[in-house]
Amino acid sequence: MDMRDLTKVDMSGISKNGQKIYAKLSKEYKRKNKGKYIAVNVKNGEIFKADRTAEAVQKALKKYPNEVFYAVRVGYSVVETLGSFGVRIE
């Protein structure tokens, strides 16, 4: 994603969709993964889990290099990052 394209990104929509997907995760999943970070592809619901936000987002970007993700720490009410993006430099 080119930095100029960020003006076209609906961050509010990403946040709302990400929260909906996160809310649907089972209590068991949340209990087992408490403290982990997940990056959620809000278009298809795919979840990428890691020990740090940046790691989760990097996993997601590896598969979907042109997407924007909702990121959250599992089991905590405070969201560290609402949206994340990466720009591939070649």
**CA dist., res. 38 & res. 35, Å (int):** 10
Average pLDDT estimate for 69-78: 84
The mean pLDDT of the chain is 82
Provide the 8-state DSSP code for 52. Answer: S
Decide if 21 contacts 70 (C-beta within 8 A): yes
Tokens of 64: 């979907």
pLDDT at residue 4 greater than cutoff 60: no
Structure-model confidence comparison of residues 21 and 3, the more confident one: 21
pLDDT at residue 89 greater than cutoff 50: no
Average pLDDT estimate for 52-65: 94
Distances in Å between the Cα of 61 and the Cα atoms of 23, 28, 77, 85 are 22, 26, 25, 8
Decide if 85 contacts 6 (C-beta within 8 A): yes
